Amino acid sequence: MLSTVSSYQRWLSQMRSTPASPFLDCFVATLVKAGYRPRTIRRFVRGAAHFSLWLKRREQFLTEASASEIQRFKRHCASCTCPGFMRSSRRHSSWRHGRGAGLFLRHLQDIGVVALSAPASPQPPPLLSDFCRWMQQHRGVKDQTLKIYGRVILDVLRSLGDDPSRYDARHLRAFEAAHGKRNEFA
Ligand SMILES: [Zn+2]
């Protein structure tokens, strides 16, 4: 509960007036469980509330926040003019506002309010992309067939490297034997 770390009404109502409010009680519970002291928790909560207010002023939803917003928010703290937060964020607690915002975002991700950012899908090797493009343009090969070719080509590239000029018959036969064996057991 928010009131377990402060009984100061003005502070409580300021925190409660921000978009972070519905999530602050469980955020505090998580920080208490992690072993932070009430004074540090108050600063982190202040950072979280400030972050949510800053997002609102940028017409962004808290639920859509990501790590890149935390970086922008940290830069904002250096020149903050948010009513009620300006003084504290410009002084020594600026770092804690950024840290509080970061912990708050992680907490929102942990409880499923904010989606975890999907890892960037790995780019296919250029040789494979070129091959797929050529097969589509000149042979009219369908996506489904290309996926099957793609798996074999990726296996070749991983086993023999991405420089076809270095492949020789011996390498290809060894790959074919290993690949055939893998598929037997698949
Ligand atoms: Zn601000």
Q: Interior CA angle at 133 toward 127 and 139, to 5°?
A: 120
Centre of ligand 1 from the C-alpha of residue 77, in Å: 6
Angle at 24 between CA 36 and CA 52, to 5 degrees: 110
DSSP H helical segments within 17-142, as ranges?
A: 21-33, 38-57, 67-77, 86-90, 94-110, 126-139
Q: 95 CA distance to ligand 1 centroid (A)?
A: 13
Cα of 68 vs centre of ligand 1, distance in Å, is: 16
**Residue 35: predicted pLDDT:** 94
Task: Judge if pTM exceeds 0.85.
Answer: no
What's the CA-to-centroid distance between 88 and ligand 1, angstroms?
A: 9
Where helices occur in 140-168 by DSSP H, the ranges are 143-160
Taking the centre of ligand 1 as the mean of its atom positions, its distance from the CA of residue 113, in whole angstroms, is: 23
Cα 2 to chain centroid distance, Å, stands at: 27
Residue 72: per-residue pLDDT: 92
For ligand 1, the distance from its centroid to the CA atom of residue 33, given in whole angstroms, is 28
Contact predicate 1/15, CB 8 Å: no
CB-based neighbours (< 5 A) of ligand 1, an ion: 80, 82, 85
Using the mean position of ligand 1's atoms as its centre, give its distance from the Cα of residue 107 in Å.
Answer: 21
Rounded Cα–Cα distance for residues 74 and 98 (Å): 5
Q: Which pLDDT does position 47 carry in this prediction?
A: 93
Q: Calculate how far, in angstroms, residue 78's C-alpha sits from the geometric centre of ligand 1.
A: 9
Query: What pLDDT, on the 0 to 100 scale, is given for residue 24?
Result: 95
Could you tell me the distance, in angstroms and rounded to a whole number, from the CA of residue 93 to the centre of ligand 1? Answer: 12
Distance, CA of 4 to CA of 98 (rounded, Å): 22
User: 154, 129 in Cβ contact below 8 A?
Assistant: no
Q: What is the pLDDT of residues 126-162, one digit of tens each?
A: 666 777 677 777 778 777 676 667 667 667 666 667 7
Q: Which of 112, 147, 108, 109 has its CA nearest to residue 131?
A: 147
Q: What is the pLDDT of residue 135?
A: 75
Distance in Å, CA 105 to ligand 1 centroid:
17
Indicate the DSSP class of residue 59. T
Residue segments in the chain with a per-residue pLDDT below the cut of 50: 120, 185-186
Q: What is the pLDDT of residues 110-126, one digit of tens each?
A: 999 888 765 545 556 66
